[in-house]
Structure 1
Amino acid sequence: MSNRELAIIIGGGIAGKLTARVLSDSFKEVIILERDDEMEGPISRKGARQGDHLHALLHAGQNGFETLFPGITETFHSNGAVNINSTKDLAWFHHGVWKHRYDGNKSTTLQSRPHLEWTMEQYIKEIPNVTTLYRHQVKRLLHNIEENRIYGVEVSTSDGSKATLTANLIVDASGASSITHALFKKLNLTIPTNKAEIGLCYVSKRFRLPKSQTRDWAIKLIYPNPPLEKIGGTISQIENDQHVVTIIGYQNSIQEKEVVKNDNSFLELAKRLPKQDIINELIHAESLSETSVYKVPHISWKRIDKVKQFPKGLLIIGDSVCRIDPVFGQGMSIAVLEAVTLQLLLQDGKLDVEQVQIAFHKEIAKLISPIWNMVLTEDFRYPGVTGKTPTGLTIQQWYSKKIFLLSASSQNVYASFIDVMNLVQPPTSLLRFGIMKEVLLHGVFKKRDS
């Protein structure tokens, strides 16, 4: 198709790299503008402050990665990532019960975000028509008023000078603090935005655990049981025989200044979890890092698909569109699914770039909508969370609670729930007759027992 000479991507994080991989098949040249230095190894980047914390690649995300980067899963593993049985090696305490553990036929890859991103970086470098310009920060987007088109960017380079770059397509993958916000404000364009104040705080450290003959899990999740419990935590094996521990607190229940004082402060925080499993592992563990803190005051979904007179030549992806509650581990996988969506649209020979742009924003809205609703249903279990409540919130919370409780005893229900949480199946799959029957029977018998 025409107009596929050059594409510029703002941001070289996970969403930016995924987008570059997709666009490399359709554009003659792709340039990634990354404000950070080039990665020298699997270490955290300054521009990805959440990089030290636990990240999860869900089944849908893992499948999408393999589609876009054939063989990358094996590369993850050969470089040290841990391959586990998704339902046997996961110990999950959720809403007051332990999930049923069984030997299922699905696997999950455990690794740190820097390890994943570093591996992606090596794949991107092998694509001949993709160039990454490091230490290039985008200052503003260039807009043609007459055509209502974004045609380029103004950047500051590593030596402090400025440069102007033009392209057929500009992609904003810059994250939650999107560069396009200033443009929309300047153009008086309103972006309908769904937003919820959750007051979330992430606190993480890396450890090396002593060897144990009784440790029968690779990752353990201790979730809070809302609304009374606000603090939860996860301990997960990652590469290099390390474990990362991430403790989360809703509604500003964790005080940053207290937890960063010393290693003992982190241990004291771990003691506040609903179960003592994690602190029991850490008592004799070796601390390998400083304590990292990351705050998510609110989550938001910018309805780009509803913006009237949206500028041509601009495509927005990843956290620049939707910043989801990271506790559910869906952010990276959503970005993967968005990239796969873009790939399918570009492969349609009937669509030009402008048509792809419009269709993409509409399609990812369909993708995000059920996930956003599912996340809000859980976040609104805390009375202090503010924002627009989902339709039928009370019945959704009642039904999902039954699913959580049944996941402790019913392999059928838990397997379906795992598929939904891993974005392999839509939430509506939990409304199948057999599952609804178990939910209703559980409700009846619980009433009789009370």
Structure 2
Amino acid sequence: MTLNNKAIIIGGGISGKLVARVLSDFYKEVIILERDHEPVGPSPRKGAPQGEHLHALLHAGEYGLEELFPGITEDFYGGGAVKINSTLDLSWFHHGVWKLRYDGKYSTTLQTRPHLEWHIEQYIKKIPNVIFQYNQIVQDFLFNEAKNRIIGVQLKDKSLKADLVVDASGVSSLSSSWLDKRQMAVPTEKVDINLSYISKQFQLSGKKDRGWKIKLVYPNPPHEKIGGTISKVEDNRYIVTLMGYHNAVNDNAVLKSDESFVELARKLPKQDIYQEIENATPLSKTSIYRVPHIIWRRFDKLENLPSGLLLIGDTFCRIDPVFGQGMSIAVLETLALKKLLQKHHRELDKVPTAFHKKAGKIIGPIWNMVITEDFRYSETRGKKPVGLSIQQWYAKKIFLLSSQNQYVYDSFIKVMNLVRPITSLMKPSIIKSVLIYAFSRK
């Protein structure tokens, strides 16, 4: 295989690291430009303020990560991550009912984001042609106007040329502002959700068998707007993340004291999380992360996008984090990129355009599924999907059936974890169960 000379990745977060892994097989040199300091351990970093909050890899994300980094799952466990039975160790209150608990033979890994990201970075550092450059802020692209091609990046004190530039820097990316300045309007889908994420780590009291490793208490929209999750992570710690849609949480008030955080947990639809932390020992400060809107920049529809530029991760689409899909989408995008690189390895210039179209197909059904739920609140603003009321009605019946019908819930688990398409919930047997449930309730 003929290797191209150099690829540059803007952003050393999870998406940037994943891309570096696949590009290392097709480029002689891969440079990751990261604005943060080099980490000395698995700790939150300034460039990822969301890192102190609960994160999850869905099944599709876990399987894909293991494909990209063979053996990394066992490394997670060796570092203290918690392996659980996905349907037995999960206690989930959703839309006013508790989901069934049974042994579905699925496993999930519970860990903090810094722990996950640290292990990926250690793996990447073993790849000889991947180079991290820390404390680097990209100020501009190097652009060949005549060829409409990105040919590198401009840093504060130097310029770097490359055959490919990947922007994995996140929602406030250089690419978006740079394209706007050049009047290359990117078609954009944006939905206002005004979400607040509030997290804190605890040492729980007692040694009782709680019967769960992770517990989710979701709001039942449209009247309930506050939910929360408590999850076991490394070193027998528990991370509690509370969230509120449409400014339902007074951010300043909850930051006042540890007690304020606990009192917010009391407002959840169920008291389970509050009862666990009311006498627990706080291990961290209270952290807040705000998501005023989710956004999907349709680079797949921009016809005059400069060649030599590839967008991935939150740079392409920031999804509602409540559904825990962001990291898994990045993994699926990276696996798609790997296949395209293999297909076009002799003509790598074809890859960015083909990738953006493929990424759009990955994001599309997930975006639609997420905003169908976000639009249960009347305050949500944005473009509504076609057939919204029907989708919401059907999804609600699936959620409620998941408390009593194991087949329906198992099918939903596969869709939620991105291992089956949402169309799998339209099988005749499931439609029949939904209709029987709906009319029997009437």
TM-score (structure 1 length as normaliser): 0.97
Q: Does 1:290 align with 2:285?
A: yes
Q: Note if contact 2:344-2:350 (Cα within 8 Å) is conserved in structure 1.
A: no
State the match for 1:74 in structure 2.
Answer: 74
Aligned to 2:370: 375
Tell whether the 8 Å contact from 1:36 to 1:135 is kept in structure 2 after alignment: yes
**Is 2:34 the partner of 1:34?**
yes
2:244 corresponds to 1:242: no
What's the counterpart of residue 22 of structure 2? 22
2:114 is matched with 114
Q: What are the residue-to-residue correspondences of 1:403-414 with 2, within 5 Å?
A: 403-414=398-409
Q: For residue 263 of structure 1, what is the aligned residue in structure 2?
A: 258
Match of 1:65 in 2: 65
Distance 1:436 1:351, change over 3 A: farther
Contact in 1 for aligned 2:344/2:351 (Cα 8 Å)? no
SS of structure 1 residue aligned to 2:180:
helix
Match of 1:189 in 2: 184
Q: Deviations over 1:121-140 (max 9, x none)?
A: 10010000000000011011
Could you tell me which residue of structure 2 aligns to residue 322 of structure 1?
A: 317
Aligned with 2:158: secondary structure? strand
Separation in structure 2 between the aligned mates of residue 419 and residue 246 of structure 1, nearest angstrom: 24
- The 1-side partners of 2:332 and 2:370 are apart by 17
Runs of 4+ deviating beyond 2 Å: 211-214
Q: Compute the displacement of 1:142 (Å).
A: 1.1
Mapping of residues 95-134 of structure 1, within 5 Å:
95-134=95-134
Q: Secondary structure at the match of 1:424?
A: coil
Q: Does 1:345 align with 2:315?
A: no
How many angstroms apart in 2 are the aligned matches of 1:183 and 1:231? Answer: 37
In the other structure, the counterpart of 2:8 is: 8
The number of residue pairs the alignment matches comes to 442
1:18-39 CA-to-partner distances (Å, cap 9, x unmatched) read: 0000100111110000000001
Letter in 1 for 2:216: L
Q: Distance in 2 between matches of 1:255 and 1:443?
A: 38
Q: Whole-Å Cα distance in 1 between the matches of residues 428 and 119 of structure 2?
A: 43
Contact 2:53 2:241 in 1 (8 A): yes
- Post-superposition shift, 1:182? 2.2
Matched residues in 2 for 1:163 and 1:240: separation? 43
| CA RMSD across the alignment | 0.9
Contact 2:3 2:26 in 1 (8 A): no
Q: Which residue of 2 aligns with 1:200?
A: 195
Q: 1:214: Cα distance to partner?
A: 4.1
**For the residues of structure 1 that align with 2:96 and 2:427, how far apart are their CA atoms?**
25
What residue in structure 1 maps to residue 55 of structure 2?
A: 55
Q: Are the equivalent residues in 1 in contact too, given 2:2–2:346 (CA < 8 A)? A: no
- Indicate the residue corresponding to 1:415 in structure 2: 410
Tell me the amino acid that sits aligned with residue 391 of structure 2. Answer: Q
The letter of the residue matching 1:9 is I
Contact 2:202 2:282 in 1 (8 A): yes
Equivalent of 2:434 in 434, 439, 442: 439
Match of 1:176 among 161, 165, 171: 171
Q: What are the superposed Cα offsets for residues 80-134 of structure 1, whole Å, 9 maximum, x if unpaired?
A: 0000000000000000000000011110000000000010110010000000000
Equivalent runs, 1:135-146 vs 2, <5 Å: 135-146=135-146
Deviation at 1:283, TM superposition (A): 1.5
Q: CA deviation at 1:224?
A: 0.2
Residue 272 of structure 2 corresponds to: 277
Once the two structures are superposed, residues 231-276 of structure 1 have per-residue CA deviations (whole angstroms, 9 ceiling, x without a partner) of: 0000000001100000000001111110000101101111110000
Distance of 2:323 and 2:55 partners within structure 1: 10
Deviation, structure 1 residue 4: 1.5
How far apart, in 1, do the equivalents of 2:315 and 2:344 lie? 27
Give SS of 1:5's match: strand
Could you say which residue in structure 2 is the equivalent of 1:159?
Answer: none
> What is the CA-CA distance between 1:3 and the residue it aligns to?
7.1
- The C-alpha deviation readout for 1:370-420, integer Å capped at 9, x for no partner, is 000000000000000000000100000000000000000011000010000
Query: Which amino acid in 1 is paired with 2:142?
Result: L
Could you tell me how far apart the structure 1 residues matched to 2:425 and 2:245 are? 27
- Partners of 2:209 and 2:269 in 1: how far apart? 21
Aligned to 1:307: 302
Deviation digits for residues 25-61 of structure 1, max 9, x if unmatched? Answer: 1111100000000011010000000000000000000
Q: Does residue 1:94 correspond to 2:94, yes or no?
A: yes
Percent identity between the two aligned chains: 60
Instruction: Report the AA paired with residue 311 of structure 1.
Output: P
Q: Residue 427 of structure 1: which of 422, 425, 428 is its match? A: 422
Aligned equivalents of 2:150, 2:435: Cα separation in 1: 54
* 1:212 to partner: Cα distance: 3.7
What do the CA deviations read for 1:192-250 (whole angstroms, capped 9, x no partner)?
00100000000000001123434100000000000000000000000011000000000
1:147 is displaced (CA, Å) by 0.2
Q: Which amino acid aligns with 1:67?
A: E
| Unpaired runs of at least 5, structure 1 | 157-161
Contact map agreement 2:3 2:28 (CA 8 A) in 1: no
1:357 aligned to 2:357?
Answer: no
